[in-house]
Amino acid sequence: KSKKVDLPKGISQDFFEVLNETLEEYDETIKGLIDR
């Protein structure tokens, strides 16, 4: 699902794009930390 959300003031769309790329790249690592 994709929802349109308003960005908080002072935070650019670029920030969220980089954040999303980082989360996708490290998804397995992050999920692995849950089990620790």
26 Cα distance to chain centroid: 10
**pLDDT the model gives residue 3:** 72
Largest CA distance in the chain: 35
For 1-36, what is each residue's pLDDT tens digit? 667 777 788 888 898 899 899 989 999 888 888 877
pTM value > 0.85: no
**pLDDT the model gives residue 1:** 60
- Give the tokens for residue 19: 């954040």
**pLDDT the model gives residue 8:** 80
**pLDDT the model gives residue 11:** 85
